[in-house]
Amino acid sequence: MAIARLDDISLTIGSVPILRRVELELSEGERLGIAGPNGVGKTTLLMVLASLLPPTGGQGSVLGAALGTPDVLAIRPSIGLSGHDPALYDQLTLAENLDHVARLAGVASGAVDVVLDQVGLAEAADRKAAACSEGMRRRTDLARLLLIRPRLVLLDEAHAGLDADARIIVDEIGRRAVADGGAVVTVTHDADALRSQADRVVTMTGGMVRS
């Protein structure tokens, strides 16, 4: 079964066309890389794949649910997204942030300590998110994906701000999703990361996807 299929998808915000006639297929166990210049629509495409932005034209389905229909509500918990900005609450500590996610996702709360240790932040667990460095915040955002183990992982510049050691976190997230029969989509400007993280790379130009 295909994890995701976009067929002639287009997206217009206001009256500005952002995505045009996007065709894309993502199969189980696939690690897809998306490259393309700044402002071409990569982040927007990930939001469509996450079912968070309904397309304004064309047909698409993700994990069996048709995009733009209420069916997507059921499959959303199987999607994990890490975007340009880490989704952290500044006043809460790193552990509290992940604990909130664990409770809402119904994950055993012991897992929080484990993933924090895995990403190398065990000793910073009780630091407020606002008092953490950019890279620490990004590691915590990735720890969230380790916590909920989504089938479809969408990574938007997940390597930015990570030090050389921490890049294996991204590899590990991808490895797990693939092992669970899911898929990973990696958007990045980092050629090395694209090589190591993707089996297939597509390039976007002018709001369209080229293989």
Q: Which residues lie near Mg ion (CB under 5 A)?
A: 43, 133-134
Answer left, alpha or beta for residue 8, where phi above 0 means left and psi between -120 and 50 means alpha: left
Residue whose CB is less far from a second copy, 44 or 78: 44
Residue whose CB is less far from a second copy, 95 or 162: 162
**Counting contacts by CB under 6 A, is residue 33 touching ligand ATP?**
no
Instruction: Write the interaction track for another protein spanning residues 15-54; mark x where CB under 8 A is met and - where it is not.
Output: xxxxxx---------------xxxxxx-----x--x-xxx
**Counting contacts by CB under 8 A, is residue 211 touching a second copy?**
no
> What's the sign of the alpha-carbon dihedral 148, 154, 156, 158?
positive
Q: Are 115 and 136 in contact (CB under 8 A)?
A: no
Burial class (CB in 10 A: 0-12, 13-18, 19+), 16: exposed
The one of a second copy, Mg ion, ligand ATP, none whose footprint includes residue 97, by CB under 5 to 8 A per kind, is: none
Question: How far apart are CB 43 and Mg ion at their closest, in Å?
Answer: 3
> Please, which of residues 57-96 interact with ligand ATP by CB under 6 A?
none
**Counting contacts by CB under 6 A, is residue 14 touching ligand ATP?**
yes
**Counting contacts by CB under 8 A, is residue 37 touching a second copy?**
yes
Q: Which two tokens stand for residue 97?
A: 């942030």
CA 166 to each of CA 3, 29, 66, 162: distance values in angstroms, whole numbers, following the listed order:
28, 23, 35, 6
Largest CA distance in the chain: 49
> Please, which of residues 6-35 interact with a second copy by CB under 8 A?
13
**Counting contacts by CB under 8 A, is residue 91 touching another protein?**
yes
Interface residue with a second copy, options 28, 134, 171, 199 (CB under 8 A): 134
Nearest residue to 150 (alpha-carbon basis) of 201, 90, 105: 105
Interface residue with ligand ATP, options 25, 85, 90, 134 (CB under 6 A): 134
